[in-house]
Copies of this chain bind each other. A is one copy, B any other.
Amino acid sequence: MNAPTLEEIREAAKRIAPYVYRTPVLTCASIDARCEAEVYFKCENFQRTGSFKMRGASNAVLSLEEEVAIRGVATHSSGNHGAALARAAGIRGVPAYVVMPKNAPSVKREAVRHYGARIILCDPTLEAREETLAKVVRETGASFVHPYNDQRVICGQGTAALELLMEVEGELDVVMAPVGGGGLVSGTAAAVAHSSPRTRVIGAEPANADDAYRSLKVGRILPAGNPRTVADGLRTSLGSLTFPILCRWVERIVTVEEEAIVQAMRWIWERMKIVVEPSAAVPLAALLTRREEIPGRRIGIILSGGNVDLDRLPWIP
């Protein structure tokens, strides 16, 4: 196992500092009252490109040697990582290639294009996606930046928790993050383990996409399958790099029902007056519905992103 060291995460923070926002930490009196807790929200929904993914993507792009970087970067995420990688490549002035399935929503395609990536469409199957990506890499010499199973990406994602711990006065009892492929939660867990060892890290996952919960139970990576959840950022399986870090430093995974996710998302919009995507609301959903599994009063939550199709809100039929 090659778990990120504190030095690696700090170096990432230094490397990306000129290109990412130091996002605010917000609190909300009515959410605190409802949760019987002090909840500190690290607002990565305000991050550049609308999610924490900008941290990992820019750390990866900025870590490349010049002669490698110049050939560009490539990935196959159609979501927040695709947009973030495109933006990070743009900052470095190198091309980004994003492989997307033909049936990806046009709003996602537009976002990736908006940040300047070249989009390569493929059939909507795993094989087509991997074949197309391999072909792009072969033809262009671009470096593949995996959405989460990449040490540089994990270290970049860990910088959000580092800032959260610095921002909040006194020790936190718990830090929570949503779990998809595990990039955010593993970076968070590493940062917390090194710099606030008594703080527990708890992951939150949709019950409908509980592969990380099950994987931790059985001790090996179980595939996510093709889960149906409103939290569209959390449908992926863990990776060979993220899984061991979860095993070591994530105390537990709490799962939540779809209705609770939508309810928590709406609470954040209504009470905090900020826009978050469903995936970002999963930790608060866990806190609201499974309070007994989350010990302590002082709780940090990474609000992972705010990219929502405003024409389709999950509480409007």
Contact = CB atoms under 8 A, between A and B. Distances in A.
Interface of A: 24, 45-46, 50, 266, 269-270, 272-276, 306, 310-311, 313, 315-316
B311 A315 contact: yes
Contacts of A274: 273-275
A270 B310 contact: yes
The 8 closest A-B pairs by CB, nearest first: A273-B306, A273-B275, A45-B273, A274-B274, A269-B275, A46-B273, A273-B274, A269-B310
Nearest to A24: B24
Nearest to A45: B273
10 contacts: A46-B273, A50-B273, A266-B310, A269-B275, A269-B310, A273-B274, A273-B275, A273-B306, A313-B313, A316-B316
A310 B315 contact: yes
A44 B129 CA distance: 46
Nearest to A46: B273
Contact of A316 (B45, B269, B311): B311
Nearest to A29: B48
Contacts of A50: 273
A272 B266 CA distance: 17
Nearest to A306: B273
A220 to B, nearest CB: 37
A269 B275 CA distance: 7
Given A275-B275, A316-B316, 17 more contacts: A24-B24, A45-B273, A46-B272, A46-B273, A50-B273, A266-B310, A269-B310, A270-B275, A270-B310, A273-B274, A273-B275, A273-B276, A274-B274, A274-B275, A310-B315, A311-B316, A313-B316
A222 to B, nearest CB: 34
Given A24-B24, A46-B273, A313 B315 contact: no
Contacts of A313: 310, 313, 316
Looking at A24, A45, A274, A313, the one whose CB has the most chain B CB atoms below 10 A away is: A274
A266 B308 CA distance: 12
Contacts of A272: 46
A78 B131 CA distance: 60
